[in-house]
Amino acid sequence: AYYTIVDQETCIACGACGASAPDIYDYDDEGIAFVMLDENQGTAVVPEEVEEDMHDALEGCPTESIKIDSSPFNGDALKNE
């Protein structure tokens, strides 16, 4: 199982992640991305059928703001950094 979260401090609203994984990432009024599964807490298991989209989003983000891990983030996008 995988969990994902957006580091909103480094997201530059480029819009790539929601294009790659529209079932996972959405944007706020300023275009900053968030994980729609859990209000960007990184606590919801990403559905298997969109795992590949999630990895595409990771690769496509120009600022490395997409984080993925096998344990929950509990709101801390930088827990591994």
Kindly list the residues in this chain that would bind ligand F3S in the complex (CB under 6 A).
Answer: 6, 11-17, 33, 60-63, 65-66
| Nearer CB in complex with ligand F3S: 31/74 | 31
Task: Give the C-alpha separation, 15 to 75, whole Å.
Answer: 21
Residue 41 C-beta: closest distance to ligand F3S, Å: 16
Tell me the C-alpha to C-alpha distance, in Å, between residue 30 and each of 2, 10, 48, 81.
27, 13, 29, 26
Residue 32 C-beta: closest distance to ligand F3S, Å: 7
| Nearer CB in complex with ligand F3S: 16/44 | 16
Closest of 80, 68, 60, 12 to residue 35, by C-alpha: 68
Residue 12 C-beta: closest distance to ligand F3S, Å: 5
